[in-house]
Structures are given as C-alpha cells and as structure tokens.
Amino acid sequence: MSGSRWLYISNDLKVHKVPNPKNSKFKPIKELAGQEVLKVLLYYETFEKKPSKLLLLEFDRVTLDSEGSYELTQKEMEKALYNFNQFGFATPEELAQQDEPLSLPLAPVLPTDQEKKTLYKYLKENINTLSHDAPYIMEERISALKRIHKEHIELIKKAVKLK
C-alpha cells in the first residue's frame, strides 16, 4: 500500500503536520495565518499501516489566508500544470509557429538548505523509517526538477532561433 502526508515548514523552520485536505481545502493552522510556507507532500509505502519507505517528495510555496488555511484553487492547479501543458509535448518548431510571444517556463519550487535540514530532522524524530532515504530521495527530486526546467529553457531557446 501507499500513503501520503502533508507538512508545512514555516519561516521560523517549524514543521507542522497538516491533515489530508478535504475538497481541496487544508485545515487551518492559526499560528501560521498570513504566512508563506513551504508545503511538502511525502509519498511513501506502508507496511502494516505504518510508513515504511519514502518514494517521492513534492514542494510548493503557498501563502496561508488570515485563518491559517489554504485552498487549492483552479488557478493554482493550472499554475502547477503550466510547464507540463506548455512544454511537455511541444517541439521547438511548434512553439516557433505560435502567433503570441513565447512564454518562459515557471521555475521549480525548491527547499532551501535550512528547510531540507529541518525536514530531515523532523523525519528522524517523527517518522524514522522515512528518514533513511530522505536525503537521497530529496536530492534526486531536486535534480530532476532542475533538469526538467533546464530542458524547457533549451526548448524555448531553440524555438526563438526558429522564429
């Protein structure tokens, strides 16, 4: 089986466990009201209903509302899929033929070194079984995000040369 867990890492480097969202709305955390946080999504395998192996990490920076809540809106879902929709299957030739100006890909959301250390510490203290692979999984994910972003930039450069 697999599972997931949502975490917020605040500006003061505190980790807050967030219950899984219901209808795209996250439960409020009053002490984080109005703050920008790093939202971390952990995907893991389970054994006997407990997390056993970390599979993937996803990151996003979100600003919580005045209640400390966050709602995944249609606009934010479109933003999350923007690079994939714009560049996922496009060729330089197709992009060069567009009438409108070429748009740049959105940069990936990456954790800072301090946020990474904070997450590692949290996992070690709270979900030790996931902490062993966390540095490797995180660095692989960051590398993949950077590589994909670089590929999108190169795609735009090639399309500009063809215009």
22 DSSP assignment: B
pLDDT attached to residue 76: 85
Contact between 82 and 108 (Cβ < 8 Å): no
Q: What's the pTM value of the predicted model, to 2 decimals?
A: 0.89
The confidence band for 24, taking pLDDT boundaries of 50, 70 and 90, is confident
What's the mean per-residue pLDDT of the chain?
Answer: 94
Give the span between the Cα atoms of 108 and 148, in whole angstroms: 9
pLDDT attached to residue 13: 97
pLDDT attached to residue 71: 84
Question: Across-strand partners of 33?
Answer: none
110 DSSP assignment: -
Check whether 163 has a pLDDT greater than 80: no
**Model pLDDT for residues 88-139, shown as the tens digit of each residue:** 999 999 999 998 889 999 999 999 999 999 999 999 999 999 999 999 999 9
pLDDT attached to residue 62: 93
pLDDT attached to residue 124: 97
- Strands in 50-63's sheet, in edge-to-edge order, are 15-18, 2-9, 36-47, 50-63
